[in-house]
Structure formats: structure tokens, C-alpha cells
Amino acid sequence: MKIGSSFANENQLKFNSNESENLLKKLATARRINSAADDAAGLQIANRLTQSANASAQGTQNVYDGISLATVADQGLQGVTDNLNEMGRLAVQAGNGLLTASDRQALQKQADAYAASIQDQIKNTEFAGIKLFDQEGAIPVGTGNGSIGIKTQDLSSRLTDSGAFSIDLSSAETAEASLKSIQSSSKIVDNNRTDLGATINALQSTARNLQTQNVNEQEAISRIQDLDYAKAVTEQVAAGVREQASVSVISQGRISEQQALKLLA
């Protein structure tokens, strides 16, 4: 047997062995691409898509956190509204000229209790340790493609300015003025809730878009990376057969060489 032919057979065996090993690796990982050698361009595209998919997934989580925060804020404002409504009812009741001083003192005491409840509501409404009504500005929610701001207000200061915490029910006249202050305060809270409602709707729409984007990205990654398992099994079996055939050829060649050497001896 020729030496060159022997080298060729050994090279073929090495090639077949590498092919079989590579297919086994793909079967083990269920991926068509495990390194740049498998598909350099495909690997780069898959990596970019993976980065984008990770961003859209995290953006979705951020948005849902933002929805939760805005919902907590809205619930806090609902509590404020409930107390203001009760204060308004008391102010209307205090407009009755038949009430005695003792009656008005009782109404004032109730109104003060509702005002204190509003202050507690404002102070204690928070999300993940963030006070929601103690500063003017906005809390940014990162979406991966930008951010959406959840508007915040220093609600205590605003309601103080509108007279919500200086209700006076000592007379029909002061009760009427207090009712106007309560109504003005209610408008402030209602406007805040309107802003929150619009923000929640925007966040929900963004969440749906990000989820759709993420699904599309994951499907694209799967098309590029995932292995056609049935095809790979067939190829691996064929590669194994070729590898065994190469081993047999080399073994047979070595036997022939040994026999030839014996004849020459």
C-alpha cells in the first residue's frame, strides 16, 4: 500500500471523527451553532438578537413594575378622595344654621380626623420604599427603547395650599368657604388620578408591544440557532458509519503493509 494513500486515509479518518464529534456536540446542546466555526455570520446575528431580546424582556419587567407603582399611587389617591368626600359632606352639614356650637364642634372633630387620615395616606403611600407623594417630578420607567415617566406631586403641599387642612366648620359661612376649598382639593386629586390613568394605559400598551417584540426575537433566535434534531441524528449516524469505514480501511492497509514486509523479508 502506498504511503501517500495511508496518509490520505488517516486524514479522512480525522475529518470523519471531527465531523462525528461536532454533530454529537450539536445533539447534546440542541443547537446548530455552538461556535463561530459552525456559522460565523449566524452567530453574530443570533448574539445581537439575544441582546435585544434580553433588553425587551427586562423592559417588559420594568414596565410591569411601573404599572404596579402607578396602581399603588392611584389606590392611595382613592383613599384621599374618600376622605375629602366625607369632609365635603360634613361641610354641607355644617351649613345648617340650626346647629348648636356643640354640634359644630363634633363636626369639626370629625373633619380634623379625616384631614389627619389624608396626611397619613400621603405619608404612607409608597412602592418599594419610594414615597409617591412627597416630591414634584417624575419616576422614569426604562423600556429598553426609552423611558416613560410616572408623574409625582408634593401632594401635602398642594392640598395645604388649596385649604384642605384648614377646614373651619364653626359657622355656616366658614363651612361654605371650606366646602369650596374641599372641592378645589378634590380637583387636584382628580387631575392627578387622570394623569396616572393615562400613564397606566401607556405602560400597558408598551408592555404588549415589548412582549410581541420579545416573542418575535426569540423565534428568530430559534430559527438561527436551534438544531433540526431528526436531520442531525441522521447525519451523525452517517458520520459514524464513515468514521468506522475509515478505521477499517486504515486497519486493512496496515495488515497489507505487514504482509508485504513479511514477503520481502
How many CA atoms lie less than 13 Å away from 242 in the CB half-sphere? 19
Q: What is the pTM (predicted TM-score) of this model?
A: 0.74
Residue 159 has pLDDT above 80, yes or no: yes
Taking residues 91-120, what's their average pLDDT?
Answer: 97
- Per residue in 22-81, pLDDT (tens digit) is 555 555 665 667 777 778 898 899 899 999 999 999 999 999 999 999 999 999 999 999
Taking residues 84-88, what's their average pLDDT?
Answer: 98
Higher pLDDT, 111 or 231: 111
Chain mean pLDDT for the chain: 84
Higher pLDDT, 197 or 224: 197
Q: Quote the percentage of the chain above a pLDDT of 90.
A: 64
Least confident of 28-37, 108-117, 140-149, 218-227: 28-37
Least confident of 67-81, 136-150, 166-180: 136-150
- Per residue in 236-258, pLDDT (tens digit) is 555 555 556 555 655 565 555 55
Identify the pLDDT of residue 3.
Answer: 46
Identify the pLDDT of residue 85.
Answer: 98
- Per residue in 217-239, pLDDT (tens digit) is 989 988 887 664 455 455 555 55
Residue 216 has pLDDT above 80, yes or no: yes
